[in-house]
Amino acid sequence: MRIMVLSINYWPEETGIGPVTTWRCEYLASRGHDVTVCTTFPYYPQWKVDHRYRHALWREEKHHGVTILRSRAWVPARLNSVKRILFETSFLASNLLRALSARTPELLLVVSPPLGLALTARILGRYWRIPFVYDVMDLQPDAAAELGMLRPGTFLRTLYGLEGLAYRHADLISTLTEGMRQRIIGKAISPHKVTLFPARSDRELLLFQGGAGGEIFRRAHGLEGKFIVAHSGNMGVKQGLDVVLGAAALSRDRTDIVYLLVGHPHDGRMPDSGVCEPGQRGSPDRWPIRRRDCRVSGRSVGARRKRRPPGARSLPPHANVRERASLRPRTLGRIPYTAKDGI
């Protein structure tokens, strides 16, 4: 089957939606399908186009059996709401043109976000008269409304309108977790239309494995004998990291506990706990770590994932820190900024 995938993130990006979509596409190609991905040039999480693509407008590549059609989008150096809208708009325009330049597929797989790809999917689905699968990685309108990122009004209604357009016209809706699936069904969508495409994970990174590499890392950064509580990944409004920093403030007298935030803030600033003055215990200090150190520590300090308690509220995976904070997440990531408390 000829399958076209529309996604704003793809290989060689190492975090976020990109690796998940890459694995799925390469799996489909390994099963004999003709897979084409329409995407932009790699930019995430640095929000800077990879130097190998810096001066290109269009490019076609082949990687692990998948054809990759790239087109230019404007990537802002510093992100805010207006610049994000302009960025996504530029991607949607170039991505639509790039898709129309390719051979007509038999199936369209659309990865959201951005939510605007719902409109692209509707246009291409009708033009080519083919079915499309709408793959929901992030419940953007829900997260924006519940976290206070957007106030009720015209723009939020527009986002919900785009979401509804995609849900109504998609032949199949897929998402990551049962909680997200129930959210979609709760928007008057038939349960038979919504399925799960869980994200792949590296099992080795979820197991506790002691070793010399971890001891070297702990000694190098003063972590011997410390209990580590860590967040690894995006560091923005959705992540609710004030919860983690608030926990650090409440446990400021526990010198045996270290809080690590491993990632890169979207705006270049560390999160503010709202309860600590700079320099006090419980407030974040910036602490650079090399990538190779973090790869070692991912196995050695105890990277473990715990199940959500039954009935817990579901937000997108990177937006549910408020639930995860109570479970004491313990993992280290691979991006070179860390906040620590109690060292």
Q: Where are the domains of the chain?
A: 2-196, 203-340
Tokens 């400021």, residue?
252
pLDDT score, position 143: 83
The pLDDT averaged over each successive group of 10 residues in the chain (343 residues) is 97 90 95 97 91 91 97 90 91 96 96 93 95 93 80 88 92 94 94 91 63 71 84 73 84 87 62 44 46 37 34 38 32 33 31
* Tokens linked to 286: 């910036």
pLDDT score, position 141: 86
DSSP labels, 169-213: H-SEEEESSHHHHHHHHTTT--GGGEEE-PPP--GGGGS----HH
The answer for residues whose C-beta is within 8 angstroms of residue 119's C-beta and 6 or more apart is 92, 162, 165
pLDDT score, position 208: 55
What CATH number belongs to 2-196?
A: 3.40.50.2000
Residue 102, CB-side half-sphere exposure with 13 Å CA sphere? 31
Question: What pTM was computed for the model?
Answer: 0.72
pLDDT score, position 206: 62
Q: Is 184 left (phi over 0), alpha (psi -120 to 50) or beta?
A: alpha
pLDDT score, position 99: 97
pLDDT score, position 332: 34
User: How far apart are alpha carbons 67 and 277 in whole angstroms?
Assistant: 51
8 A C-beta contact, residue 338 and residue 287: yes
CA distances from 315 to 8, 233, 322 (A): 21, 16, 10
pLDDT score, position 105: 97
pLDDT score, position 77: 86
pLDDT score, position 306: 33
pLDDT score, position 265: 63
pLDDT score, position 325: 32
